[in-house]
Structure 1
Amino acid sequence: MVTVSAFKDGFTALRANPILLVAGLLVGAGSQLQYVDRLIESPFLSAGMSLAWLIVFPFVIGGFIGTARAAIDGADASFTHFFTAARTHYLRLLLASVLFVLLVFGTAIGLGFIGFVLGIGSMALAAINEMAAFVAGVISLLIWLMSILVVMMFVQFYDTAIVIENKSVTDAFRRSVWIVRSNLKSVAGFSLAWVVLMNVFFIPEYLIQMTISDAGPAEVLPIDLGIPIAFLLPLGIALSAIGFAYFYTVYTAYYMRLIAVSPAVPETT
């Protein structure tokens, strides 16, 4: 089974190549930059660091996928390989990341507008049957959310297509869609397992979000855990590093296994 084999590949590659943990640490630390203003009380510095991270992330992910590929293939997964892969694919990954965000937000806004129109109808329905209006609202929300997730699932492999197959930005998205269409059941199962398991490693980060939110953890959880942010922040960085390193190595291994069994994208005429 491709999914199970990919998770095994990820573990084997990570155990043999600790450099992947270093790359994961870069991402783990970067993901915490959004909380820096809570510690130093400088929202402008926090915003600047977060923006810088958004620009740097395509560089890191390109280097990581290239290094993970080398580790999975049993080649030299070194810092030199990391920076070479990162520099080679950075511009395309940056442009593709912007396009990915535009696709997701465009889908969310477009479907949100449709939902707004349907919401007006639900208000009219509420005058007749409140329960029916509530059910219609919930169904509309679920359709909106599922549609966004489907779009994300079909275009998710744009980065691996760029790094592993050296695709252009547009070809990377075409390749991702084609790969998912050709392996829909497998990709759906893998994506669900990957997201659920990876989010386990981000529990400290979610606790940080609750700690620094206006609501506070006590209003979200039945009890106040009383865990200080000074403890949660380094824990979040450490677990994010391990989680990113392992699950993105699995992600890379899964894509490599998929392209080995998937047909090429048909040429457009």
Structure 2
Amino acid sequence: MVLVSAFKDGFAALRTNPILLVAGLLVGAGSQLQYVEHLNESPLLSVGAPLAWLIVFPFVLGGFIETARAAIEGTNTSATQFVTAARTHYFRLLLGTVLFVLIVLGTAIGLGLIGFVLGIGLIPLAAIHEMAAFAAGVGSLLVWLLSVLVVIMFVQFYDAAIVIEDQSVTDSFRRSIALVRSNLKSVTGFSLVWVILLNAFSIPEYLLQLTLTETGPADVLPIDLGVPIAVLLPIGIVLSAVGFAYIYTVYTAYYLRLIADSPISTVSE
């Protein structure tokens, strides 16, 4: 099974190639830059650090995917290879990431406006039957969320298509859509497991977010963990490093298995 094999491939590659963990550490540390405003009084730094990371992330991602592919295929991996791949694919990945965000935001806003218009139509229903109106509102919200997630699922492989198959920005999205369409059941299962793992590795980060807001962990959890920021932050960095390294190595392994069964000609179909 492609799904199970990809997770096995990812674990084996990560175990034998520590450089992937180093790259994961860069991502883990970078992902925590959003909290710098709570540790430093400089407004410029609090805004500039997360923005800088958004610009740097495609560079790290390009190097990581190429290095992960080499590890999975059993060829040599090195820091030089990482940097070379990162530089080669950077601008396409940066443009692709911007386009990905625009697609997702455009879908969310567009469907949100449709839902808003339909919600206005529920006002007369609320006057007649409040429970029915509430159920219709919840149903429309779930449809909106599911639709956004489906769009994300179909375009999620744009970055792998750019790095692994050297696709252009627009062709990478076409390739991703074609692959998902041809392997819908498998990709749906992979995406669910992948998201669950991603959120599991992000638990310390979620607790940190609660700690830094007016809503504390005790307001959400039945017990007060009493874990200070100084502890949650390094734990979040370490788990983000391991989590990113593993799930993106699995992501690369899964993509390699997908394209092995789907010729590049599917882009034009």
Contact 2:174–2:267, Cα closer than 8 Å, also in 1: no
Cα 1:267–1:240 change in 2 (3 A) is: closer
Structure 2 length-normalised TM: 0.98
Deviation for aligned residue 1:218: 1.8
Give the match's secondary structure for 1:127.
helix
Cα separation, 1, equivalents of 2:218 and 2:241 = 28
Large movers: runs of 4+ above 4 Å: 266-269
Per the alignment, residue 183 of structure 1 pairs with 183
Q: After superposition, give the CA deviation of every residue in 1:198-231 in whole Å (9 maximum; x if it has no partner).
A: 2111110000000001122221222221100000
Helix, strand or coil for the counterpart of 2:123?
helix
Question: Could you report, residue by residue, the CA deviation over 1:220-269 in whole angstroms, capped at 9, with x for unpaired residues?
Answer: 22222110000000000000000000110000000000000113344659
1:40 maps to 40
Unaligned runs of 5+ in 1: none
Distance 1:209 1:268 in 2: 44
Which residue identity is paired with 1:82?
F
Contact 1:17-1:71 at 8 Å conserved across structures: yes
- Report if aligned partners of 1:20, 1:245 keep a CA contact under 8 Å in 2: yes
Residue 161 of structure 1 aligns with an amino acid whose one-letter code is A
Measured against aligned partners, the alpha-carbon deviations of 1:90-141 in whole angstroms (never above 9, x if no partner) come to 0000000000000000000000000100111122210010010000000000
State whether structure 2 residue 248 is matched by structure 1 residue 245: no
SS in 2 for 1:149: helix
- Structure 2 counterpart of 1:80, one-letter code: T
Q: Which residue of 2 aligns with 1:17?
A: 17
Size of the aligned set, in residue pairs, is 269
- The amino acid that maps onto 1:109 is I
Structure 1 distance, partners of 2:62, 2:257, is: 19
Counting only pairs closer than 5 Å after superposition, residues 50-65 of structure 1 correspond to structure 2 as 50-65=50-65
CA distance 1:184–1:268, change in 2 (3 Å): closer
TM-score by length of 1: 0.98
SS at match of 2:75: coil
Q: CA deviation at 1:43?
A: 3.4
> How far apart are the structure 2 equivalents of 1:44 and 1:138?
40
1:95 aligns with 2:81: no
> Which amino acid in the other structure matches residue 141 of structure 1?
L
Which residue of 1 is the match for residue 127 of structure 2?
127
Deviation of 1:153 after TM superposition, in Å, equals 0.1
2:175/2:266 contact within 8 Å kept: no
**How far has the Cα of 1:41 moved from its partner?**
2.6
Counterpart residue type for residue 104 of structure 1: V
How much is the aligned-residue C-alpha RMSD, in angstroms? Answer: 1.1
Q: Secondary structure at the match of 1:40?
A: coil
- Equivalent residue runs for 1:102-251 within 5 Å: 102-251=102-251
Structure 2 CA distance for partners of 1:179 and 1:266, relative to 1, 3 Å: closer
Shift of residue 31, structure 1, vs aligned partner: 0.3
| Counterpart residue type for residue 25 of structure 1 | L
8 Å CA contact 2:112–2:144 kept in 1: the answer is yes
2: CA distance, partners of 1:53 / 1:82:
18
Structure 1 contact 13–72 (Cα < 8 Å) conserved: yes
Q: Tell me if the contact between 1:157 and 1:176 (Cα under 8 Å) persists in the aligned partners.
A: yes
Kept in 2, the 8 Å contact 1:178–1:265? The answer is no
Aligned-residue sequence identity (percent) comes to 74
